[in-house]
Amino acid sequence: MARWTQQLRWFRHCIAPKDDRMRLDRWFRQQFPSLPNSFVQSQIRKRKIRVLEVAPATASGNAPTPAFVPTKAQSLLYAGQCVAIDAHLFRTRLQSEWESNKASTHADERAAAMSYADDPVVQDLLTRIMYRDSNFLVVNKPHGLAVQGGSGLERSLGTFLPAIAAHVGGETPRLVHRLDKETSGLLVLARHRLAAAAFAELLQSGRVSKTYRAIVCPVAPNVEIPEQGEITLPIDGKPAHTRFERTRTVTTIAPKKSYELRLFPQSGRKHQLRIHCAEVLRSPILGDRRYGRHNLPEPRNRRDPRVPLRLHLHAERLVFPDPFAPTTIIDVCSRWDGIKTWP
């Protein structure tokens, strides 16, 4: 964290590039987590908290006088501006909390990074980084690793993010989209707040192209899957759209005829691909215990309990424009290893 410095009757904190375009009230919650939002708003109204515009030096080298700009709780902050707090208010109400928050945040991040730094999962994830730049990481998530913790889950990808940051540098990466625990494949991590916001905007505007590969098993011998097509079955009353291509017939990894598909989701509903395959194509994804329970084939080495029946769904490719370099397209592919379930 940057430091607060006193100049005359104000303590100032310059806005870092990573906090560019963050709302003032959210920035305060980041700096002072236990400070009530109502208190921040009242101090803004009393002009005890203000935003200072610091103009660049003139051609002659003279520094112009900084100027206060109109300030509201929802005002956007920009890199190079300064947040100014009345000195008496800062000393009596805010300074001790800021120092405590700074120390605890650093301690928590260090502890999380150190506790998992040598964990085999972290070491494996580091080898699975398929793309890296200053804004994004793209990781080939293994099957069976949840993206976020939840009920009954002690470890998830989110658990290991501080340790990953300790190896690759920079802030702790942020989760910006999801894959089911059972699904393997490409997952984007944002390396800072602006990257997270930019990727969320790409998702919302439909500019992230996703390709999945799946192996599906028809529920009956007479079920045929066309070479290509589109599925528009709504999910939970909301529009859902999936394009698909049949790439080959598979006869070697399951006890009955299956098909390998490429799936191109045009929307992002929960379990969309699994539902569309099971309910429209009448061919649940191999290993799907929720939507294809009645049609689960047994693996050939069923007697070996070490080989679980896994979901054969893999996020194979991600393509999206680089929001920080509009003429650049980020195109990442990963290897499909689903057939290893039945060696």
Do 14 and 137 lie in one domain? The reply is no
- Of 81, 98, 115, the domain-final residue: 115
**Cα–Cα distance, 315 to 29 (Å, whole number):** 36
Do 341 and 218 lie in one domain? The reply is yes
Do 270 and 319 lie in one domain? The reply is yes
Structural domain span for residue 12:
5-115
Mean pLDDT over 228-253 rounds to 91
Do 61 and 41 lie in one domain? The reply is yes
What Cα–Cα distance (Å) separates residue 139 from each residue in 75, 125, 287, 335?
Answer: 35, 7, 23, 12
**Cα–Cα distance, 179 to 16 (Å, whole number):** 32
Does 327 have pLDDT greater than 90? yes
More confident residue, 21 or 173: 173
Do 180 and 269 lie in one domain? The reply is no
pLDDT band, very low/low/confident/very high, at 62 (cuts 50, 70, 90): low
- Of 51, 81, 115, the domain-final residue: 115
Per-chain mean pLDDT for the chain: 84
More confident residue, 94 or 50: 50
Do 34 and 78 lie in one domain? The reply is yes
pLDDT digits (tens, 9 = 90+) for 17-53: 878 888 898 888 888 887 888 888 988 899 999 998 8
Residue (of 223, 222, 216) closest to 297 by Cα position? 216
CATH number at 181 reads 3.30.2350.10
- Look at the chain and report how many structural domains it folds into: 3
Do 94 and 146 lie in one domain? The reply is no
Does 318 have pLDDT greater than 50? yes
Do 103 and 230 lie in one domain? The reply is no
* pLDDT reported for residue 281: 96
Do 213 and 147 lie in one domain? The reply is no
Question: CB of 183 within 8 A of CB of 190?
Answer: no
- Of 170, 186, 205, the domain-final residue: 205
Do 94 and 133 lie in one domain? The reply is no
* Burial grade of 88 (CB within 10 A; 0-12, 13-18, 19 or more): exposed
pTM of the model: 0.74
**Cα–Cα distance, 194 to 198 (Å, whole number):** 6
**Cα–Cα distance, 235 to 238 (Å, whole number):** 5
183 φψ region: left (φ > 0), alpha (ψ -120 to 50), beta (else): beta
Do 250 and 232 lie in one domain? The reply is yes
Do 65 and 54 lie in one domain? The reply is yes
**Cα–Cα distance, 8 to 86 (Å, whole number):** 10
Mean pLDDT over 129-146 rounds to 95
Question: So which residues are the catalytic ones?
Answer: 180
